[in-house]
Amino acid sequence: MTRDPCSGANNVLLGRSVKELEEWAVGNGQASFRGRQLHDWLYNKAVDDIDGITVFPKQWRDDLLEKGFTLGRLEELTRVVAEDSTLKLLLATKDGENIETVGIPTENRLTVCVSSQVGCPMACRFCATGKGGFQRSLALHEMVAQVLSVREAMNRRPSNVVFMGMGEPLLNIQQVLGAIRCINNELGVGQRKITVSTVGVPNTLPNLAEQAQKILGRAQFTLAVSLHAPNQELREEIIPTASTYPFENLLEDCRRYFALTGRRVSYEYILLGGLNDTKEHAMELADRLIGSQSHVNLIAYNPIDDAEFKRPSVRSIGSFKRLLEQKGIKVSLRASRGLDKNAACGQLRRQQGKAF
């Protein structure tokens, strides 16, 4: 049985706005300014437990702990830093599950890759997370806590957030959108600097657009849809759950999403050596996307320990990109990061207990 990600969330303080914290303080017998103090300590000073909020009277701190209130931060279990400074954290939730988050730095930006679930039910064959099965969806505060953990570990404010970690965000829409609202409003990351990645879940994209406008006021984040193939047959071979979502239906839903939000869809395409990276695949993909408001983000496969796939050659990567561009498709190539430390999603969690 899937557990409720919000179970016990009434006692969790992380993820609340300043107004909500002011109301909470008054409801707990304090002046509203205590809520503003808490907001500062949660999101700016990034305290990790109630007893560390030293501006609160000691007696009140003790009372809050006795009542079961918690900030909702996650415990760091393992930290791995690659040669290119990519950081991967393995974090523990309060119920003993483990999740991953990644910090990807460049000179001008810090991107945090956030997990939305413990494990993933989508079972993509190239993904380490899918091989570990699915346990539950994450609550709002557990996603926000990942951003704070990376910020503290790297001593740098994140500029971008991508929901591309463990899990399928569209199977956890309400909590993901709540996390986006918090990251945007409380941590100061602009919506246009936030990306939600999905492999595609039937009948969810119009709902995502509707719920985003309801919860966020407008849908300004980037939607990234993982295609990984130019046709249904090959897509099902790579993503078995794609059998429930015909290729043309997925593309039509993406067009509807654009019509509802005005936001261009980004298509993720992981290049698997010898499987989906040929000239013919590039031409077929271009033919499917010509005329739509879209962008293709190419990703060279990052091998996992027991991989059945291989990384594409530099030549095939370059050729695939050029062919799309020649067809008028907007395309970019995502740089591989953290290869020396197994930074592909799900690998650190699978390796827990081994030497790093």
d(C-alpha 232, C-alpha 215), whole Å: 33
22, 97, 100, 186: the active-site residue: 100
Phi, psi (rounded to 5 degrees) for 91:
-120, 145
d(C-alpha 145, C-alpha 5), whole Å: 14
61 three-state secondary structure: helix
End-to-end CA separation in angstroms for the chain: 33
Query: Is-catalytic flag, 127?
Result: no
d(C-alpha 185, C-alpha 173), whole Å: 18
E strands along 278-347, which residues? 294-300, 331-334
Instruction: Please enumerate in sequence order all residues whose Cβ is within 8 A of that of 217, keeping only pairs 6 or more positions apart, or say none.
Output: none
d(C-alpha 134, C-alpha 101), whole Å: 17
Find the angle CA(332)-CA(334)-CA(335) to the nearest 5 degrees: 130
Query: Is-catalytic flag, 345?
Result: yes
Q: List residues with catalytic annotation.
A: 100, 345
